[in-house]
Amino acid sequence: MGRAFEYRKASKLKRWGAMSKLFPKLGKVITMAAKEGGGDPDMNAKLRTAILNAKAENMPKDNIDAAIKRATAKDSADMKEVNFEGKAPHGVLLFIECATDNNTRTVANVKSTLNKNGGEMLTNGSLEFMFSRKALFEFPLSNDMDIEELELELIDAGLEEIEAEDGVVLVTADYTSFGTMNEALEKMGVEITKATLERIANTPIEISDEEHADVDKILERLEDDEDVQKVYTNLA
Average pLDDT of adjacent 10-residue blocks, the chain of 236 residues: 49 51 90 94 92 91 94 84 96 96 96 97 94 96 92 96 94 96 93 94 95 94 94 95
At the topology level, CATH places domain 20-70 in Arc Repressor Mutant, subunit A (1.10.10)
User: What integer pLDDT is reported at residue 100 of this predicted model?
Assistant: 95
Domains 20-70 and 80-129+203-233 share a fold: no
State the pTM of this model.
0.84
pLDDT score at 102: 95
Distance of alpha carbon 34 from alpha carbon 21, whole angstroms: 20
CATH of the domain spanning 80-129+203-233: 3.30.70.980
Q: What pLDDT, on the 0 to 100 scale, is given for residue 77? A: 76
Which residue type occupies 74?
K
For the chain, give every domain's residue range.
Answer: 20-70, 80-129+203-233, 131-200
The helix or strand, by DSSP H or E, that contains position 82, with its residue range, turns out to be: strand 80-87
Cα radius of gyration rounded to whole Å, the chain: 18
What is the Cα–Cα distance from 10 to 161, expressed in whole angstroms? 17
* Domain range 131-200, CATH class: alpha beta
Task: Give the closest residue to 178 by CA, choosing from 28, 15, 53.
Answer: 53
